[in-house]
Amino acid sequence: MGQKGEETRGRLLDATRDLIETGGYFGTGLNQVVAASGAPRGSLYFHFPGGKDQLVAESVRRAGREIGEVLHALAETAPDAAGLVTGVIRLLGDRLEESGWRKGCPVATVALETAATSDPLHRACSDVYGSWEEALRLRLAADGHPEPDDTAATVLALVEGALLLARAHRSRDPLDRVTRRIAALL
């Protein structure tokens, strides 16, 4: 495989991740991916023989892993569950605003577009959300929360919904409002 090969592969995944976050699965063309990554067209199909689906699925999983790591790090350092959640929202809000309302949740758009059509992509998105929810659940359970399962799902839904609304309105307002009311759930 070689070092150069791995690097090209990584550049393709990073470029894909950036582009799908803004435009989703159908809104991102492989021409854009090739142009943004600097890799030649054929390399894409060498590294991802499964084509666009494989490329996007791996990008989704990679993005999910990255955010998952941030989540775990915050879960270690935050004083309580409320601090964890508000910390995540602030971090994601900063990223969203700095990117000009382009970068919200890297999974959401693809998840909605492919929910009913593509099995491998649907599975990738489902797995990522599952892992995030599990991270939340663990911290809630460790804190002795009475309903860790339902609350983890609810908090994840709340954060995803707030990110969606923030992008739709191009404003941090929904994130701020949700932050102010989150304590009622925890």
Partner DNA sequence: TCCTGTTTATAGATCGGTCTACATATTTCC
Partner DNA sequence: GGAAATATGTAGACCGATCTATAAACAGGA
Contact set with a second copy (CB under 8 A): 22-27, 100-102, 104, 107-109, 111-113, 115-117, 122, 125-126, 129-130, 147, 149-151, 153-154, 156-162, 164-165, 167-170, 173-174, 177-178, 180-182, 184-185
Q: Which residue has 């569950």 as its token pair?
A: 81
Which one of residues 14, 53, 127, 133 is an interface residue with DNA (CB under 7 A)?
Answer: 53
Report how many residues bind DNA under the rule CB under 7 A: 24
Tokens linked to 17:
């991740």
Does residue number 60 form part of the binding site for DNA (CB under 7 A)?
A: no
Q: Which amino acid is at 176?
A: D
List CB contacts of 11: < 8 A, sequence separation 6 or more: 37, 38, 39
- Cβ-contact 57, 121 below 8 angstroms: yes
Residue 66 binding partner per list a second copy, DNA, none, with a CB distance cut-off of 5 to 8 Å that depends on partner kind: none
Identity of the residue, 1 or 116, whose beta carbon is nearer to a second copy in the bound complex: 116
Q: How far is CA 64 from CA 4, 11, 119, 174, in A?
A: 25, 17, 18, 23
Residues 7-46 touching DNA, rule: CB under 7 A, are 7-8, 28-32, 39-46
d(Cα 173, Cα 178) in Å, to the nearest integer?
Answer: 9
Residues that bind DNA (CB under 7 A): 1-2, 4-8, 28-32, 39-47, 51-53
